[in-house]
Structures are given as C-alpha cells and as structure tokens.
Structure 1
C-alpha cells in the first residue's frame, strides 16, 4: 500500500489466449483510478477506438507456395541487434499497475531480447530502470520542461545510465481531455522518481494538469537541435502523424521518426496512427528508422505496420496489463505471445524475415 493506493506484487508467467483479454483481467486488480489513467483516452475516445479499427483497412495477402519455414523475427535497428521488432513504448507511471513498476517491465523486455523505452514520468528512476535491464538496450523518453536545467538533469542521468537514444515526445504540450481521470478525481498516488527531486514536497498527489503545466507548451526544431547538441545521442521525435512534421524533424537532425497519436490520449478526432503510417514512411523514405505505436494488439497488426514502413512496433497498455498480472514474467509473456502470433502470420504470408515483411503486399481496403 502506497499513500492509500494498493499495489500488487504478482510475479508469474501468464497463460495468454490473446492480448485484448488482458485488459479485463487487469481491471480486476488495478485500483479504479489507476486503471482509468492507464486505459483511458481523450474526450469520447473516438481516436482510441479508431486505432484498433484502422487495422481492418488493410489485408495481408497469403503466400502459400513460398517454400519457407521457421520465420525469424531478429532485426537490427539503430545499430541494435534485437530478437523481436516489438518494443516497449515509453508509458508513464507503471507503478500504478505493479509495485516494481518499470523495473519489472525492463526485466521482462530484456528477457525476450526486446528494446525498452522508459518515460520521464516513470515510477522508478532512470538509473534503476536501466540497471534492471542488465545491459539490454534502452531508450529514454523526454517530456520537455519549461526549465532547461531540469531537462539537462534528466538527459545527464540518461546518458550516465547508458541509454542508446532519446525519444522527444512532441504531441503532449498540453494534456488531452481525459474524462476518466476527471470522473475518478485521479491524483498520482505514487511518486514519480524523476520529478521528486524537483518537487517542493514529496512528489506525491500531483494531478495530471499540474504535471503538464510544468511541461514545455511550445516545441520546435530548435528544441530538437538543442537536445542533439547537448547529448550527442540519437534523438527520435515521437508524436508524428504527418509527412510535413516528419520532414521538419529530419531536417532538424532527428535520427528517427515515431508515428503515434499517444494511444488516443491526446487529440481526439485525429486520425488513427495506422492510417497515416504509410504516408509518413514514404516521406521519410528510409532516411531514418520509423517506430510505430497506437492500438497494436495482434501479430497481424505488427505485420501490417512493418509492411507499411515501420522498423519497430511498440506496445504500451498490453505490456502494462501483463505487468499488473505477472510482473516481469507477465511482461515477458505478453511479448512472447505477440511475437509468436507474428511468426504465424509471417509463415502464412510467405515471409521468412523482417526484411521480407517490408516487401509484403497489403490490399488497400481504406473505406
């Protein structure tokens, strides 16, 4: 129990039928306010729902006479050798789901040979999250603050912890209107490790609006360049949903483009991330790697995203639900299940490798 908030300590592998079922199971054990924060979208959640239905706009063409077996999901992106193209999105406040929070998530992702991204608003410190991965690659996601000294402090810690890249989130200069948090009068009960040292109090009990009020509310190419110059690390721009933004970011030195609508938590009424992925990837034209998230629940989703131009496909909520249900082992179970689904799709689509998926044919049923 932390500040009146019950955190479970489950540590077990999960017998998963499918990832969508995990939400209902996790709802039974995550307290109401925490579950509303994790699961909710903005306004009436139209974009949240569209993120799922958008995958129906494309269909995979089966290739039965491809003469392949044992598809391989190994891939190399940003110079990192990974066992799966599925990565952990930089989701905040994972202590709401499990007492060990991001530490267990990092352990689970490392176990499956994946890539972990940790958030500025993590429940655990940058150093502790990085150490839990025991050398497995990690990225650090920055929510820019109005206070550059605060930004520098986080970037210094991230570099010291050995992260391989910085993810700059640009689609959250203000908070989306999230009604579940209002209904639940949600306040973060668990301190955010990266914020407490800059807090006059103990860092607990902050509302979402209060946290976002300290965030930079205007971000442009110059901010990206400042981070690149300061860190000398690759910087990936997250929250891109237009070709124009992708080209602006690359022009300012971005080492990667991250196509995302924040899981439907920000601009309600905006497009599903999957529906804009192809146009953004075509504009990027292999200049830098492309990461994609929002709504991914099936191996077929991962396949379709890669076929339309993604180099890595990130998941957030399903991994957090796995964390709630089984800690580090639960996270590993989620990634393993999704990767196994991907292998089945690869086999049926006649694709042996991740590079083969990038050449796969999708039917366009965008209606």
Structure 2
C-alpha cells in the first residue's frame, strides 16, 4: 500500500481469475477505501438511471443461429482508421488513482496489452504524457471537460496532440455534476491530485468535492464549440453524452467525426433513459455517417454483442476496468478485457457470427419484460 494524503492506494499487480464482472465489484469494494469506492460506484440521486442501464439489456434478445458453419469467431475491428483486436475500449474515467497507485498509467498498459483503445480523462490522476507513455504506442483518445477558460482548454489540447492522441472526445453532458449522494454521505473530497489540473488556476483537485471540480466547467456548450476544437486541433472530435437523434445530427453538422452514446454511467441526469434504450434511435439517425461509441452498464459479452447489433462500432467500459485495476493493476485491467472478450466470442459462436461486421447484421428480438 501507498499512503497519499491519508488515502491508501494499493499496488497490486497480478492476473485475475474472474468469474464475472459483477463479482469483481464486490471484490474491489474490499480494498478500495470507502470514499473512493463510493465515488467510483455511485450514480446520481436514487440511482434509477444507473440501475436502468443494466436492466435495459433485457429489452433485446439475441436469436441463436446453430447451422452457421463457423468456428473461432474473430473480435478484431477497424474504427476511426485504427486496427484494434477488440471492439471493447476503455471509457474516459476520472481519478483512477483512487483505485490503484499507478492509476491511468497501469490502465493504459492493460488496455494496450488487450489490443484495445484507451481514452484518458481531463480529470486523470496521471498526466496526459505519462498515460500515453503507459500505452507504449497503442492508440489513445483524450477526453476534454471543456473549461470556461479557453487557455486551459488549449493547453490540454496542445499536450494531448504532443502526446500523440488520435482523437479528442468532447464530453457535453457534464456542464454541472450530478447530485451524487454517496459523496455527500462519505464527505468525499479528492485526496489524489489531478495531474492535468495542477498548473492551472483551478488547483490540483486535491481536497475538493465533485461540485467544486465541476464549478470551473463550461456551462454552455453548443455546436460552435465542437467546430472550435476541430479547428484548433485538426484532430477528429467525438462528441460524448449524446442520447437523442437531434443532438447526434447537431454534432455531425458541426463536423464531429464520431458520436458517443452515453448517460455517464447513470452519474448525471437521473430519470433519463438507459443508454441502451436510446442507442438504436441514435444510430439510425447517424446512418453510418460517422462511427458510434456506446457505454453505460456494460457487464457481459452479450451486452457488447447487443450494442454492436444495434449500430455501435465500439463499446466502452469504465467501472469494471477500474475494479480490475484495483485488484491487479495493469494485469487486472487486461484480465477484465480478456474475460469480456471471451464472453463475446462465446456469444458470437452461438449467434452464428464470425466477425464484428457479422454482428452488425445479427437479429435481435424486441421484447419488454
């Protein structure tokens, strides 16, 4: 263990024997300090939307295809011009130092080993450069929480370009922080400095609550901001936090190179729909103009399959990878990706799909339970 400002950070580095990703959460709860675990696991208000994210996958069923004459399904895919070994990517989750002393650096190592795509957050525990170095040349995206201070934004974007990121993810559903009761109950304040904030007027994040961190965030974000970031960086910009066809089309009209369907893992607008329940309407509106990323509530290979069948090109996970990080560092993250990939391959075989492209043409039944 490492003690940072009175907060215990473990240093586990080991491969995990995973039964399922739900059990992984229970195991991680035993070793992540209460305040940190509460921040990671919780949703907003009474967590209706967080819970709906899991239940929504029951609204679609996969049709088995037994006479498909296939074996050894393949999970490799090409998205945004990147050749990946898996359609599963790491979501841009903040403050991973709460789970492990090496934080995002170890996450990047584990994702790279799995052949996946890493997205790092503005509110990372480790710097843009260090996180990029952890991936050792594997593709990474940088997620921007846009600040009211454009000089702050430019500095982060400059660092991200210098680090070689392949795209910018602009999060648009977090102009204010969701009302997260676990943080209030635990009197949670960030004990681990946020590396990307240290040299700016916002401070380093240490000793602040989530509402204070979000206070510096831009409250007004529109299509012009998407275009501004594209013009400044000359990088593809993916807009994250889309849950309506209208917003998807606004983003594409502003030049977005990708749409990221997400409700922030149920951490923002409580009472909003599960991300899976709006995915199909968004992908139909996008109509293959740009790739679509999906996250929120993914815990099974069948979840990944269903999301791709409804039009997602990449499926992101956040909390499960962080639990793997807590329990096993880089190897723990790799174990999570491998477990989910193995589940996905089983589903692909039983559904008669050889490739990720085949999944996109798979049949799903629509039955409400």
TM-score past 0.5 threshold:
yes
CA shift, 1:201, in A, is 5.6
Counting only pairs closer than 5 Å after superposition, residues 32-43 of structure 1 correspond to structure 2 as 32-43=34-45
Looking at structure 1, the residues matched to 326 and 213 of structure 2 have their Cα atoms a distance apart, in angstroms, of 24
> Residue 57 of structure 2 aligns with which residue?
55
2:205, 2:213 within 8 Å by CA — same for their partners in 1? Answer: no
CA deviation vs aligned residue, 1:189-210 (integer Å, no higher than 9, x gap): 0000000111476542111111
Looking at structure 1, the residues matched to 347 and 18 of structure 2 have their Cα atoms a distance apart, in angstroms, of 18
> Residue 213 of structure 2 aligns with which residue?
211
> Residue 162 of structure 1 aligns with which residue?
164
> Residue 295 of structure 2 aligns with which residue?
293
Q: Secondary structure at the match of 2:9?
A: coil
> Residue 267 of structure 2 aligns with which residue?
265
> Residue 15 of structure 2 aligns with which residue?
13
Looking at structure 1, the residues matched to 169 and 187 of structure 2 have their Cα atoms a distance apart, in angstroms, of 30
Counting only pairs closer than 5 Å after superposition, residues 1-367 of structure 1 correspond to structure 2 as 1-199=3-201, 203-366=205-368
CA RMSD of aligned residues (A): 0.8
Residues 200, 354 of structure 1: alpha-carbon distance in 2 compared, 3 angstrom cutoff: closer
2:84, 2:116 within 8 Å by CA — same for their partners in 1? Answer: yes
Residues 184, 361 of structure 1: alpha-carbon distance in 2 compared, 3 angstrom cutoff: same
Looking at structure 1, the residues matched to 202 and 310 of structure 2 have their Cα atoms a distance apart, in angstroms, of 47
Looking at structure 2, the residues matched to 202 and 149 of structure 1 have their Cα atoms a distance apart, in angstroms, of 16
Unaligned runs of 5+ in 1: none
Looking at structure 2, the residues matched to 228 and 203 of structure 1 have their Cα atoms a distance apart, in angstroms, of 27
2:197, 2:204 within 8 Å by CA — same for their partners in 1? Answer: no
Q: Secondary structure at the match of 2:61?
A: strand
Looking at structure 1, the residues matched to 69 and 81 of structure 2 have their Cα atoms a distance apart, in angstroms, of 30
Q: Aligned residue pairs: how many?
A: 367
CA deviation vs aligned residue, 1:238-296 (integer Å, no higher than 9, x gap): 00000000000000000000000000000000000000000000000000000000000
TM-score (norm 1): 0.99
Q: Secondary structure at the match of 1:238?
A: strand
Q: Secondary structure at the match of 1:188?
A: coil
Residues 200, 319 of structure 1: alpha-carbon distance in 2 compared, 3 angstrom cutoff: closer
Looking at structure 2, the residues matched to 293 and 203 of structure 1 have their Cα atoms a distance apart, in angstroms, of 26
CA shift, 1:366, in A, is 3.2
Looking at structure 1, the residues matched to 132 and 368 of structure 2 have their Cα atoms a distance apart, in angstroms, of 41
Unaligned runs of 5+ in 2: none
Q: Secondary structure at the match of 1:366?
A: coil
Looking at structure 1, the residues matched to 366 and 31 of structure 2 have their Cα atoms a distance apart, in angstroms, of 40
Looking at structure 2, the residues matched to 199 and 226 of structure 1 have their Cα atoms a distance apart, in angstroms, of 23
Give the 4+ runs in structure 1 shifted more than 6 A. none
2:38, 2:183 within 8 Å by CA — same for their partners in 1? Answer: yes
